[in-house]
Amino acid sequence: MKKTTRRSDIVDALSLPDLCRFCHADEEWVIELVEEGVLTPVGSHRGNWRFVGTSIVRAKKAGRLSRDLGINAPGLALVLELMEQRDAVRRRLARYESL
Amino acid sequence: MDFKDYYQILGVTRDADAAAIKKAFRKAARKYHPDVNTDPDAETKFKDVNEAYEVLKDPERRATYDQLWQAPQGGSRWAEPPPGWEEGFRFSGHGPQGASGYSGFFEEMFGDGMGAHFGGDSHGRIEVPIEDAYAGAARKLSLRTPAVGPDGRVTLEERVVNVNIPRGILEGQHIRVPGQGGDLFLEVNFAAHPVYRPEGKDLYMDLPVAPWEAALGGHVVLPTPDGRVDLRIPANARTGQKLRLRGKGLPGTPAGDIYATLKIINPRADTEQARALFEQMARDLAFDPRAGTGA
C-alpha cells in the first residue's frame, strides 16, 4: 500500500490550460463560456487569464451539464443562472421555514 | 450482483431505435441529473440511466447485452462480483462507486468502460463538518485507482491518501491533492449541521429567546465554532430580526459573519404561577397583536 503524504491545497486560481484540464474541456469551449458571460476570468488577455472561485465551480458544473444533457453555451448561461437563483431561493426558504 | 434491465431503466421497448433511446435518455437525464435534482436518490438513478444509455446507444455493446437475454437471468455468471468492483472512492456521504462510476454488472460485461483515468487527474467529493473549516483538519482517504502492472495487466491499486482540509475552505471549493500520475480534486461539501446553515463565508442560525429577553433586551452567551461569544439583544426585539456577529463566520480575509435570526419561544402556561403571570399581562397590558388585521 502506497502512502501519499504531499500537502493538499485549495484550488483558488486556474489558468486557461489548467481550467481545461480541471474540467476535461477544450479551450474553445471555455472561451465560448467566457464570451457568454458564464465565466469571468481576471486578466486582460487569454494568456494571463485567472479563473477564481465561482468561475471554477461554474465551469465544472457547465462541463457536466453539457456532457450529460447536450446543452450549448447560451443554454448553459441560462440554466446556470436559473439554478443559482433557485439555490438562493431555497436558502432563503430554509431560513424562514424554521420560524 | 444484480442483473440490470437497461431497457426498463430507460423505459423503452427492446426494439426501440436509436432516436427513441436518445430521447428517453435525455428526458430521464434532465429529470435525474444531480445538478438539477437535489433529491438524494437522484444521483443513483442518474448513474443507472447514464449506464443504460452507454450500453444501448452503442450497437456493439447493445448486441452483447441483448445476448444475455437468451440465457436465463441471474445465472451463475452473475452470482459472484468480479474482484474489487465494489470498491473505489469511498467518501463519506456517498455510496461505494466503481473507479469508473459504472456498476459491477457493467464492468463485468465491458471492462471499466469509458477510458479509466490512467495517469490523469481524478475527481471526487468529500463531506466535512463545518468545524473543520475553522480549525483545519487532516483526513485519511482510502482509494483504489487502476494501474498497469509490469505484465501489462490492469489491477486496482490501493492507496491511502492523507488529505489536509485547509482552514477557511468553503462549500463548493476544491482541494487539490498532488499525486504521482495526476492530481486528485475533491469537491468540498459541508455536512448538514444541526445549528448552522453556511452561505459563502457566512453562517446563518436561529437563536431562540424568551419573550422577556426579546422585550427587555440583554446579553446571551452563544457558543460558536470560533468560541463562545457574548451577544447583545436589543430591547423590543422581534421574531425574525437578524443579529450579526461580525467576523465569527468562516475564517478568511476578511472572515465571514454569523447571522442569528431571533425566534421568540413562549414558556408553557402549565403551572399556577405561569398562568398567573400571563393573566396579569393579559389584564394589565394594552396589547392587541391583531391590530391592523381589521379584526
Q: What is the pLDDT of residues B270-281, one digit of tens each?
A: 999 999 999 999
Q: What is the pLDDT of residues B104-131, one digit of tens each?
A: 677 666 665 444 444 578 888 899 999 9
State yes or no: pLDDT of A2 exceeds 70. Answer: no
Average pLDDT, chain B: 82
State yes or no: pLDDT of B233 exceeds 50. Answer: yes
Q: What is the pLDDT of residues A36-83, one digit of tens each?
A: 999 999 998 999 999 998 899 999 999 999 988 999 999 999 999 999
Give dist(CA B112, CA B98) in Å, integer. Answer: 8
pLDDT at B196: 93
Q: Closest-CA residue in chain B for A63?
A: B35
Q: Quick check: A68 and B36 CB within 8 A?
A: no
Q: Closest-CA residue in chain A for B123?
A: A22
Q: What is the pLDDT of residues B11-29, one digit of tens each?
A: 999 999 999 999 999 999 9
Q: Quick check: B175 and A1 CB within 8 A?
A: no
Cell readout for A53 is: 472561485
DSSP state of A43: S
pLDDT at B264: 95
DSSP state of A48: G
Helix or strand holding residue A9 (H, E): strand A9-11
pLDDT at A91: 83
Q: What is the pLDDT of residues B192-204, one digit of tens each?
A: 999 999 999 999 9
pLDDT at B1: 56
Residue reference for cell 462480483? B81
pLDDT at B108: 67
Nearest CB partner across the interface for B173, out of A5, A11, A22:
A11
- Complex-level ipTM beyond the 0.90 threshold: no
Contacts of B89 (CB under 8 A, 6+ apart): B97, B99, B122, B124, B141, B143, B144
Provide the angle, in degrees to the nearest 10, between the axes of the packed helices A73-97 and A54-69.
Answer: 120
pTM > 0.80: yes or no? no
- Residue type at B35 in one-letter notation: D
State yes or no: pLDDT of B74 exceeds 50. Answer: no
pLDDT at B97: 35
- Report DSSP letters for chain B, one per residue: -----HHHHHT--TT--HHHHHHHHHHHHHHH-TTT---TTHHHHHHHHHHHHHHHTSHHHHHHHHHHTTSPTT-GGGTSPPTTTT-S---TTS----TTS--HHHHHHHTT-S---TTS-EEEEEEE-HHHHHH-EEEEEEEEEEEE-TTS-EEEEEEEEEEEE-TT--TT-EEEE--SSS-EEEEEEEPP-SS-EEETTEEEEEEEE-HHHHHH-EEEEEEETTEEEEEEEPTT--TT-EEEETT-SS-SSS---EEEEEEE-PPP--SHHHHHHHHHHHHH----TTTTTT-
Which chain A residues touch B176 with a CB distance below 8 Å? 8-11
Chain A contact for B35, CB < 8 A?
yes
User: What percent of chain B stands above pLDDT 70?
Assistant: 82
Residues of A near B (CB-CB distance < 8 A)? 1-12, 21-22, 53, 56-57, 60-61, 64-65, 68-70, 83, 91, 94-96, 98-99
Q: Quick check: B199 and A91 CB within 8 A?
A: yes
Q: Which of B81, B29, B73, B87 is nearest to B53 (CA)?
A: B29
Q: Is the peptide bond before B251 cis (omega within 30 degrees of 0)?
A: no
Q: Which of B188, B190, B260, B189 is nearest to B224 (CA)?
A: B260
Helix or strand holding residue A13 (H, E): strand A13-14
Q: What is the pLDDT of residues B249-272, one digit of tens each?
A: 999 989 999 999 999 999 999 999
Nearest CB partner across the interface for A11, out of B46, B185, B197:
B185
User: What percent of chain A stands above pLDDT 90?
Assistant: 61
The average pLDDT across A18-32 equals 92
Q: Quick check: B164 and A7 CB within 8 A?
A: yes
Q: What is the pLDDT of residues B76-104, one digit of tens each?
A: 444 343 333 333 333 322 333 333 466 76
Which chain B residues touch A94 with a CB distance below 8 Å? 197
